Amino acid sequence: MSEAPQAALFANDGTPKGDIKLDPAIFGIEPNMAVLHQVVTAQQAAARSGTASTKTRSEVRGGGRKPWRQKGLGRARHGSIRSPQWVGGGVVFGPHPRDFSQRTPKKMKKLALRSALSARASEGSIKVVETLDWAQPQTKTASALLEAVGATRKALIVLGPTNRVAERSFRNLPHVVLTHSGQLSAYDVLWADTVLFTTDTLGSVAPGFYDVSEKDFVMESGAEEPDSAVGSSPSADRPEAESPVAAEAVEADHDFEEEGEKS
């Protein structure tokens, strides 16, 4: 894709804030359908429990005695009432416990995830919210936010480790799946009709893309220009606090040098 993909940006109450550029290396590639199919199939296979089990004729209880003699009765010959053709007998080709998981290379998983995100970005299904810093958990607020951003159907919400209030607000809503940025999978992205990121989780999915000085906004006409760029480093404008341990170490080193000079 030639142009950088974009996603709609919203405030934490659902107010439109314009559009935000997406990393073309993550959200703007040509989807590899073959790799995407293989990775999704492997993920679905790994989700199978593999605990289905049946008994063969040697495992079924009973059937040790021949039911009737071999000849002379006009009946078909049988050696056990636990043969497969008998009711209550063993199963010939039934399932047994097994592991359905498949080994998938990490590069294939990453390519499949980027393909799924790129497909959703081309459809306009990627939404970004600035923050989810609500005062207290409230399902009504979470539902209003989803309705405001247009996520009325199946929605995948990518949260960060500090979004505990938002997690408790969204978890009771139907057709909503919650995940963390480090656990994002191609199957979850394809399942959802809308993928909702925060600016923090968007930066963790595309590390390094938003750590720039210029603005990563494409503002709507008539919208006010924000004070700072979304995704810029939060510690860029703040002086680093001096560590007490480091201060004590520097002071001790200085005292040691003074004692060495006196001696």
The string of DSSP codes covering 87-140 is TT---SS------------HHHHHHHHHHHHHHHHHTT-EEEES----SS--HH
CATH topology of domain 6-48+104-218: Ribosomal Protein L4; Chain: A; (3.40.1370)
Write down the domain spans for the chain: 6-48+104-218, 50-99
What confidence score (pLDDT) does residue 43 get? 94
What confidence score (pLDDT) does residue 15 get? 87
Quick one: average pLDDT of 19-43?
93
What confidence score (pLDDT) does residue 132 get? 85
Vertex 154: Cα angle to 11 and 126 (nearest 5): 45
* Helix 106-122 vs helix 33-46: crossing angle, to nearest 10: 110
CA gap 121, 126 in Å, rounded = 5
Give the tens place of pLDDT for each residue, 207-254: 767 654 334 444 443 444 444 333 333 333 443 444 444 445 445 455
Say which amino acid occupies 183: Q
What confidence score (pLDDT) does residue 260 get? 52
What confidence score (pLDDT) does residue 197 get? 93
Predicted confidence (pLDDT) at residue 89 exceeds the cutoff of 60: yes
Between 206 and 84, residue with greater pLDDT: 84
45: helix, coil or strand? helix
* Cβ-based neighbours of 232, under 8 Å, separated by 6 or more: 210, 211, 212, 213
Vertex 136: Cα angle to 134 and 142 (nearest 5): 60
> What's the chain's length in residues?
263
* Cβ-based neighbours of 239, under 8 Å, separated by 6 or more: none
Quick one: average pLDDT of 112-125?
93
Q: Is the pTM of this model over 0.85?
A: no
CA gap 199, 226 in Å, rounded = 14
Mean pLDDT of the chain: 82
What confidence score (pLDDT) does residue 225 get? 43
- Beta-bridge partner residues of 156: 177, 195
Of 17-31, 79-93, 211-225, least confident by mean pLDDT is 211-225
Quick one: average pLDDT of 6-19?
88
261: helix, coil or strand? helix
Task: List, edge to edge, every strand of the sheet that includes 16-21.
Answer: 176-180, 155-159, 194-198, 126-129, 6-10, 16-21, 217-218
Both tokens of 21, joined, read: 């550029």
Residue 163's Cβ-count burial label (10 Å; 0-12, 13-18, 19+) is buried
201 in Cβ contact with 171 (< 8 Å): no
Both tokens of 196, joined, read: 């909702």
Give the tens place of pLDDT for each residue, 130-178: 888 888 898 999 999 999 998 888 999 999 888 889 899 999 899 999 9
